[in-house]
């Protein structure tokens, strides 16, 4: 089975995927839409941040910022749009933006749009105006004058961490730096604010100590967390920057996937859900100052296995799979990677333990693919009404689950439905900070296909491993006749051969006189 899965994977790639827009799109509207802002746009100062607490989480290989803010309407009219500014250089690294009304958390995330200045979105002069961009939060109900609402805003920033020193020896620890402003970037006056920074460990050799912002020592240290503030910033104009730099130990790999291609393929005939993931992985951490030493690495390995040492190199990836997963494979450009272990489990999570062919140090790349099969019954259900309609539930991202996390610069998620499936609709459910998904319909031709299988391609950028909590639900119509397309095609072909054989056999090729 394993061999055949590999063969199917290899052949599957050989077939070119044709994405045609022939089928009419009837997709769910993406949650994030873009609004073009004209001229020298500045949001009106209609709100006041009465109290703001920001948490910067640096425990993983990417930054997660969470801001809880009490917003008061200081205008005379009701207001419903709250603007959050991002620098031009930063906005492209933001992902998983999520805003909620804390008092009505059950209502789910608030509607968010991206405000782009016309000069910036104009492709002719992209660099002429490096203006601030905005995320616009739309409150469910307009906030009346003097009314207040508590917002919980969270997002992650990819590739914002830099190793310092940029190159280290093989056995040295890796340190990362992060730059931010002690004053939270905002377009509204802020009365009181505080920033908490969570580090992966208490080893923080360098950090900015502020002066004149508060009477007490700033920052205040509590184990592996630092607190900048609280500051009384009522008289500080919005947008003021007070640069802060922190340098901390992060002796774990800084994993970035430039592209993750993830396919799930539904087979009604086989009752199977096949998953394949193709990774273009790299380590963005500190590079090796000297050449890689195999001897030193084997010594290091001994101490790492004994738990007496850590390394910034990637040694192993653990991929938790759904219970009942079978036929797992792990291949790269050379072929099957035998240094992997698959622990199947029908009750609890199965585990796929991947050891790349070589340890991955800073600046090194590794390209590989993994795949496995599941019973379709756990992911597909048939609807009572309308007839012949099915609903599929699959996670947006599975893949490795490491304590240091993984960033995906680009995610291409293809849901390959059976041939003849129509009326495809999708929605996401669960998770925080669902990435903006661009959807495309197309066809994918592979074994025993005549027209090609219906494909729903969802593309997202700036995704992190937390997106594994997001479920993609897809409904499609698949009639009995569409299901019979494959055997009927073969039937027609073979029956034609029989008829032809009979006709050819009945031709009289004798050269003698016909006997009566």
Partner 1 sequence: MSLYEVWQAAASSPFQPAVGKDSQLTVGLSLLLVGLILTGLFGLNRSPVSIPLFGIPASLAFAIGAVYAICGFGVYV
Q: Is 265 in the site for partner 1 (CB under 8 A)?
A: yes
Least Å distance between CB 133 and partner 1? 31
Q: Which of 39, 106, 125, 502 binds partner 1 (CB under 8 A)?
A: 502
Span near partner 1 by CB under 8 A; candidates 5-13, 136-144, 147-155, 252-260 = 5-13
Q: Is 450 in the site for partner 1 (CB under 8 A)?
A: no
Q: Which is nearer to partner 1, 237 or 498 (CB)?
A: 498
Q: Which of 312, 373, 454, 457 binds partner 1 (CB under 8 A)?
A: 373
35: enclosing H helix or E strand: strand 32-37
**3-class SS shares of the chain: helix, strand, coil, % to 5:** 15, 45, 40
- Classify 263 in phi/psi space as left (phi over 0), alpha (psi -120 to 50) or beta: beta
The CA distance from 495 to 514, in Å, is 31
Least Å distance between CB 471 and partner 1? 8
The CA distance from 419 to 268, in Å, is 10
Q: Which is nearer to partner 1, 347 or 492 (CB)?
A: 492
Q: Is 8 in the site for partner 1 (CB under 8 A)?
A: yes
Residues binding partner 1: number (CB under 8 A) = 55
Q: Which is nearer to partner 1, 10 or 296 (CB)?
A: 10
Q: Which is nearer to partner 1, 447 or 508 (CB)?
A: 447
Q: Is 488 in the site for partner 1 (CB under 8 A)?
A: yes
Q: Is 425 in the site for partner 1 (CB under 8 A)?
A: yes
Q: Is 427 in the site for partner 1 (CB under 8 A)?
A: yes
The CA distance from 73 to 188, in Å, is 10
Q: Is 387 in the site for partner 1 (CB under 8 A)?
A: no
Give the bridge partners for 457, in sequence order: 414, 440
Give the bridge partners for 65, in sequence order: 56, 155
Is residue 227 within 8 Å of 53, Cβ to Cβ? no
The CA distance from 165 to 508, in Å, is 89
Q: Is 487 in the site for partner 1 (CB under 8 A)?
A: yes
Task: List the x/- string, 41-70, binding to partner 1 by CB under 8 A.
Answer: ------------------------------
The CA distance from 438 to 425, in Å, is 13
Q: Is 29 in the site for partner 1 (CB under 8 A)?
A: no
Span near partner 1 by CB under 8 A; candidates 158-166, 216-224, 260-268, 358-366 = 260-268
Q: Is 107 in the site for partner 1 (CB under 8 A)?
A: no
Q: Which of 206, 270, 303, 438 binds partner 1 (CB under 8 A)?
A: 270
Q: Which of 378, 387, 450, 481 binds partner 1 (CB under 8 A)?
A: 378
Q: Is 274 in the site for partner 1 (CB under 8 A)?
A: yes
Q: Is 499 in the site for partner 1 (CB under 8 A)?
A: yes
Q: Which residues, at least 6 apart from 248, have a Cβ–Cβ distance to it below 8 Å? A: 58, 175, 176, 178, 199, 200, 201, 203, 204, 205
Q: Which residues, at least 6 apart from 246, have a Cβ–Cβ distance to it below 8 Å? A: 58, 177, 178, 197, 199, 204, 206, 207, 208, 226
- In three-state secondary structure terms, 378 is helix
Least Å distance between CB 338 and partner 1? 19
Q: Is the peptide bond before 338 cis (omega within 30 degrees of 0)?
A: no
Q: Is 481 in the site for partner 1 (CB under 8 A)?
A: no
User: How many other C-beta atoms are found inside a 10 Å radius of the C-beta of residue 142?
Assistant: 13
- With 0-12 CB in 10 A as exposed, 13-18 as middle and 19+ as buried, what is 30? middle
Cα dihedral 314, 92, 131, 142 sign:
negative
Q: Is 429 in the site for partner 1 (CB under 8 A)?
A: yes
Q: Is 111 in the site for partner 1 (CB under 8 A)?
A: no
Q: Is 445 in the site for partner 1 (CB under 8 A)?
A: no
Q: Which is nearer to partner 1, 503 or 511 (CB)?
A: 503
5: enclosing H helix or E strand: helix 2-14
Task: List the x/- string, 133-162, binding to partner 1 by CB under 8 A.
Answer: ------------------------------
Least Å distance between CB 15 and partner 1? 13
Q: Which of 162, 268, 315, 410 binds partner 1 (CB under 8 A)?
A: 268
Query: Phi and psi (nearest 5°) for 93?
Result: -105, 0
Q: Which is nearer to partner 1, 83 or 478 (CB)?
A: 478
Distance from the first to the final alpha carbon of the chain: 60
Q: Is 118 in the site for partner 1 (CB under 8 A)?
A: no
Q: In what order do the strands lie in the sheet with 317-321?
A: 317-321, 350-354, 340-343
Residues that bind partner 1 (CB under 8 A): 1-5, 7-8, 265, 267-272, 274, 327, 373, 375-378, 380-384, 390-391, 393, 425-427, 429-430, 446-449, 471, 473, 475, 486-491, 494-495, 498-499, 501-502, 505-506
């Amino acid at each position: 089975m394993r061999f055949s899965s590999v063969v199917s994977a290899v052949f599957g790639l050989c077939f070119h995927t044709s994405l045609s827009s022939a089928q009419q799109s009837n997709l769910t509207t993406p949650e994030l839409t873009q609004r073009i802002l004209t001229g020298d746009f500045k949001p009106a100062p209609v709100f006041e941040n009465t109290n703001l607490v920001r948490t910067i989480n640096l425990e993983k290989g990417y930054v997660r910022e969470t801001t809880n803010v009490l917003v008061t309407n200081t205008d005379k009219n009701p207001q419903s749009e709250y603007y959050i500014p991002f620098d031009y250089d930063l906005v492209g690294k933001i992902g998983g933006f999520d805003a909620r009304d804390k008092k009505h958390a059950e209502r789910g995330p608030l509607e968010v749009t991206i405000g782009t200045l016309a000069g910036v979105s104009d492709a002719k002069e992209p660099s002429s105006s490096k203006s601030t961009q905005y995320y616009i939060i739309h409150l469910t109900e307009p906030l009346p004058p003097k009314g207040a609402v508590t917002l919980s805003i969270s997002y992650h920033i990819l590739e914002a961490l830099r190793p310092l020193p940029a190159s280290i020896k093989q056995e040295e620890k890796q340190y990362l730096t992060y730059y931010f402003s002690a004053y939270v970037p905002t377009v509204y006056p802020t009365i009181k604010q505080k920033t908490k920074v969570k580090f992966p460990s208490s080893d923080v050799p360098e950090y900015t100590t502020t002066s004149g912002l508060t009477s007490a020592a700033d920052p205040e240290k509590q184990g592996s967390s630092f607190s900048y503030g609280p500051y009384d910033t009522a008289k500080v104009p919005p947008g003021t920057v007070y640069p802060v730099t922190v340098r901390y130990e992060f002796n774990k790999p800084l994993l970035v996937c430039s592209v993750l291609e993830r396919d799930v393929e539904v087979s009604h005939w086989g009752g199977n859900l096949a998953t394949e993931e193709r990774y273009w992985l790299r380590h963005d951490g500190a590079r090796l100052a000297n050449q890689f030493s195999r001897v030193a690495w084997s010594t290091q390995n001994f101490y790492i296995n004994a738990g007496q040492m850590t390394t910034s190199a990637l040694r192993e990836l653990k991929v938790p799979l759904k219970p009942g997963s079978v036929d797992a494979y792990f291949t790269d450009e050379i072929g099957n990677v035998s240094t992997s272990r698959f622990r199947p489990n029908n009750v609890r999570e199965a585990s796929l333990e991947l050891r790349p062919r070589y340890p991955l140090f800073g600046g090194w790349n590794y390209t590989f693919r993994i795949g496995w099969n599941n019973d379709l019954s756990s992911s597909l259900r048939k609807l009572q009404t309308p007839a012949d309609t099915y609903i599929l539930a699959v996670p947006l991202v599975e893949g490795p689950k490491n304590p240091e996390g993984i960033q995906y610069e680009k995610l291409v998620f293809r849901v390959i439905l059976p041939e003849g499936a129509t009326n495809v609709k999708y929605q996401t459910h669960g998770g925080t900070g669902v990435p903006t998904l661009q959807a495309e319909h197309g066809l994918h031709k592979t074994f025993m296909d005549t027209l090609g299988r219906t494909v729903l391609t969802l593309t997202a950028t700036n995704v992190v491993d937390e997106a594994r909590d997001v479920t993609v639900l897809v409904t499609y119509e698949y009639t009995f006749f569409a299901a019979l397309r494959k055997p009927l095609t073969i039937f027609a072909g073979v029956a034609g051969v029989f008829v032809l054989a009979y006709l050819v056999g009945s031709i009289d090729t004798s050269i003698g006189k016909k006997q009566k």
